[in-house]
Structure 1
Amino acid sequence: MRVLAIFGRSVAIFIPVFFVATFVTFALRALSGLSPARIQLGESATTEAIANIESQWGLDRPFLVQYWDWFTDVLHGQLGTSWVNGADISTLIGLGLGVSLSVAILALVLGTVLGFVLGTTAALRPGTLLDRAITGFVTVISVMPAFVVGIVLVEIFAVGLDLLPSGGYVPLEEGGVGLWLAHVILPALALSFDVVADVARQLRTGLVSAYRENYVVGALVRGLSPRRIFFRHVLRNGMGPALATLGIKFPSLVGAAVVTEWIFGLQGFGRFANDSAQAGDVPAVQGVLVVSVAMVVTFNLLINIVLGRVTPASQRGV
């Protein structure tokens, strides 16, 4: 019942957010002044030709009517048709999103595992040389751009050691786990550095603060073992900020990896978004924004449920 209550509260917040975000997204076409006629006919198109093309696309109807038709199509998974090539946008996004999700999920897993290990280790030895070394390390990797890390990884593992391919992508169902992992591990590592740094810093801060609480002193007085104190009390109370960080990081991993995808030759979601924006393909850009909003809303909903289930403060409604 507690999880259902958290789910209900989160949905009540995220539905209006999604509705407003889609409205703003659709309004971008009117604000941009772009038209499919300009793309198909060029700048020398006549007024009559432009009006005919826009009528074919339904752009001569009232704005709210256009928005409602588009929004109902979005709810059915239909994101429209590309102005550039007439292809179905849902299909185009699906092709690139599969690549980006493979890299983003692996980057998130690597970043979370390494971040939790480093953050926990630093929190268990606060003020020591090990703590300062970990803090310095995560500070350094937090300021390293993903494209620089990607180039270095290619030079080391693909060019120098010839252990991994330098680019390309092989779907999991075609090449199996080994070949798929060989193609996504380098871009995932390049993207995971920022996740490692943020998770480690947030977790260390949360755990150190939790160790200073009175309930930890009380648990020590009652004779509980350090292991039980850590897993039963400290970790559950101190991991909230680190989990909340993941809610922000995952969507950015999917959508903000344009440069990384260029380095590794990946036709991913970010690259599709960049190409669509440069071509002036407004329906494709709108589709990208809608999918991005949906991912942000969905992943944050999952994070809220996990927080409500794991952290005691959330269970008490704090």
Structure 2
Amino acid sequence: MFSTLFEKELKAILLSPKFVATFGVCTILILLSVFIGIKEYESSRAQYETAVQLTQQGMLESSNWWSVDNTVFREPDPMQVFVSGVNNDIGRLSDVSTWNEIKLEQSSYSEDPLFALFRFIDFTFIVQVVLSLFAILFTYDAINGERESGTLKLALSNAVPRSQYVLAKFAGSWVGLVIPLMIPILIACLLVIVLGVPFEAVHWQKFGALVGVSVLYFSFFIALGILVSALTRHSNISFLTLLVLWVVVVLIVPRAATMVAGQINPVTSIAEIESQKDRYSTDKWDEYRRLRSRMWEERSAATEGMTPDER
């Protein structure tokens, strides 16, 4: 009976008109985000290699040590093809000299603040926002929809345990939604290989972990949709409930958790660290001036009344 229910749920998803639309949208978004990420990485890599070459050439052409000025550039990470993260928020280079502090500067968003407002859509954004909404869209009426149509009584009139019925619903929904999404992900991997992105074994391991966590995240919303559908009698109520839960889980909880963690275990801000460093530097310079002034006073007192020859 489990296989019959599983097959029924799988067919209901694959033959649904909204499956074609959602699968097409997800495929286009994933492939487009990866392709744009590859082009962005290639551009960043070309800028990095050019900047490093110019810096090395300038150091070789320096005629004295005082004119030597070294600049260190942050090498682009191939994983930014899938996850941009804070890559565009942090700086791309840092001056290395005796007087200047080593600090990454000139981030992409500082040069182009408009992109900071409309951020890059990467694979993680698609999973976090788009796929979670699609999971709700397919599962909000998984059980109460059959109650409304009358097929739930027909299914439970047989000797089917409720746990087995719910498990078949989840398994059919999971296979019908997760397995097809592996197709654009595999095509994205093929794009990475064909376009020559230097992915090493460690990068593929990270990508595998990313896909695994994404599947778990997607599975959570599938299970959440089936749970709410089982607890509510009407599909419209379950849809509104799931929409509120989606806003809380996806939009509110990550930001609220950061604020609560900051209150529980406060972290020193960058401005406070800079202030402490400036205060420390000022105190050390004042101490150096006092010691130097005292040394000159002691020397003057020791040589007071002496002739220039005696000094």
- What is the TM-score normalised by the length of structure 1? 0.29
Whose RCO is larger (CA < 8 A, sep 6+)? 1
Which is richer in helix? Answer: 1
- What is the TM-score normalised by the length of structure 2? 0.30
